């Protein structure tokens, strides 16, 4: 009790008559843009995860320079 090729062709013709080719083209391009955005988001997510694992190594290297620039507030006296 499945669909045959003839059923699918009739179904597609009815869909084209109802929506029109321009509307179907817009729906197709919107769907393609959504899939592309999803793939880019997934790729950015893996890049961010790799950056997050590399971030502690960068903070350790900059800790020495940050200590030289730190001002001890309690040791400073007002004149």
24 has a pLDDT exceeding 90: no
Work out the angle at residue 20's Cα, subtended by the Cα atoms of residues 18 and 24, and round it to the nearest 5 degrees: 105
Q: What is the mean pLDDT of residues 56-67?
A: 51
14 has a pLDDT exceeding 60: yes
Work out the angle at residue 67's Cα, subtended by the Cα atoms of residues 63 and 70, and round it to the nearest 5 degrees: 135
Phi/psi region, residue 3 (left: phi>0; alpha: psi -120 to 50; beta: rest), is: beta
Identify the band that residue 58 occupies on the pLDDT scale cut at 50, 70 and 90.
Answer: very low
Q: What is the pLDDT of residue 3?
A: 77
Q: What is the mean pLDDT of residues 50-60?
A: 56
């Amino acid at each position: 009790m499945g669909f045959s090729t003839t059923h699918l062709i009739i179904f597609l013709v009815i869909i084209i008559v109802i929506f029109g080719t321009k509307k179907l083209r817009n729906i197709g391009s919107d769907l393609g843009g959504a899939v592309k955005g999803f793939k880019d988001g997934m790729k950015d997510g893996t890049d961010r995860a790799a950056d997050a694992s590399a971030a502690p190594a960068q903070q350790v290297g900059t800790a020495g320079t940050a200590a030289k620039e730190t001002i001890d507030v309690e040791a400073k006296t007002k004149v």
